[in-house]
């Protein structure tokens, strides 16, 4: 009998909805996850908000002045919409309802669980860390739209350097101190703090290059950034 391994994967909204819904990525993710399930793996996939989130937040800001909590709720519902999209794609193998809380008991009968935003003040990265803690996972995969984390914004600084591996203390020094709705960052600073306390390993991998995720799962060298 195959030994079951549960992989926690945070899928950035920039992959699901970079502008319009990215069906090319979704098809590749669908094929990849199903191929990995055949090897005995289970997956908990947390969906980000992407452009859907930012469009709603920007629209609201143009009409009225909103508190962060209201902006957060817009983002949370955007992640849940994307989460329902993923759950529909995996409808035949996924737990039938979307996980809206990291505290919910997980079913062992379904190889895929889809989760999304929880409550104001907490990003989907934080939800991913909480879920990983709950099931005792010491590794977490963060799929984004970049090959590596940089020491500073490569769009602003030509001398920005790629980071292949980094410890939590140095990584957290690159992040803002607090979470902010719509924050564009390699990892939520609050989630990073908790991941460090849990001595968790996080692999930041480009979701458009799922071969690199496969290499990481096999323990091989991969293109990405390892935080530990």
- For residue 183, give the CATH number of its domain: 3.40.1160.10
Least confident of 7-21, 80-94, 137-151, 173-187: 173-187
For residue 141, what are the CA distances in angstroms to 7, 21, 134, 147, 200? 8, 22, 16, 13, 11
Task: Quote the tokens at residue 214.
Answer: 């496969």
Residue 104 domain boundaries: 5-227
Instruction: For residue 124, give every residue at least 6 positions away whose Cβ sits within 8 Å of its Cβ, in sequence order, or none.
Output: 10, 13, 46, 47, 48, 49, 79, 115, 116, 117, 188
Percent of the chain having pLDDT more than 70? 95
Name the band, by pLDDT with cuts 50, 70 and 90, for residue 8. Answer: very high
Count up the domains in the chain and report the number: 1
Of residues 81 and 4, more confidence is placed in 81
Taking residues 60-85, what's their average pLDDT?
A: 95
What pLDDT is attached to residue 183? 57
pLDDT in tens, 19-59: 999 999 999 999 999 999 999 999 999 999 999 999 999 99
Q: How far apart are the first and last CA of the chain?
A: 32
């Amino acid at each position: 009998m195959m030994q079951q391994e549960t992989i926690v994967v945070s899928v950035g909204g920039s992959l699901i909805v970079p502008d319009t819904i990215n069906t090319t990525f979704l098809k590749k993710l669908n094929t990849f996850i199903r191929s990995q399930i055949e090897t005995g793996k289970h997956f908990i996939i947390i969906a980000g908000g992407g452009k859907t989130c930012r469009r709603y937040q920007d629209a609201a800001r143009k009409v009225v002045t909103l508190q962060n909590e209201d902006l957060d709720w817009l983002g949370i519902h955007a992640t849940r919409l994307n989460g329902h999209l993923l759950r529909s794609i995996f409808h035949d193998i996924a737990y039938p309802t979307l996980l809206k809380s990291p505290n919910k008991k997980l079913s062992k009968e379904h190889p895929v669980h889809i989760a999304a935003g929880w409550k104001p003040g907490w990003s989907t990265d934080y939800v991913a860390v909480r879920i990983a803690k709950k099931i005792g996972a010491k590794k977490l995969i963060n799929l984004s739209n970049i090959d590596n984390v940089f020491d500073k914004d490569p769009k602003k600084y030509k001398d920005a350097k790629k980071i292949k591996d980094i410890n939590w203390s140095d990584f957290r020094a690159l992040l803002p101190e607090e979470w902010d709705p719509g924050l564009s960052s390699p990892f939520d600073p609050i989630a990073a703090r908790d991941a460090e306390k849990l001595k968790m390993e996080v692999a930041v991998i480009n979701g458009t290059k799922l071969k690199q995720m496969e290499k990481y799962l096999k323990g091989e060298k991969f293109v990405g950034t390892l935080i530990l």
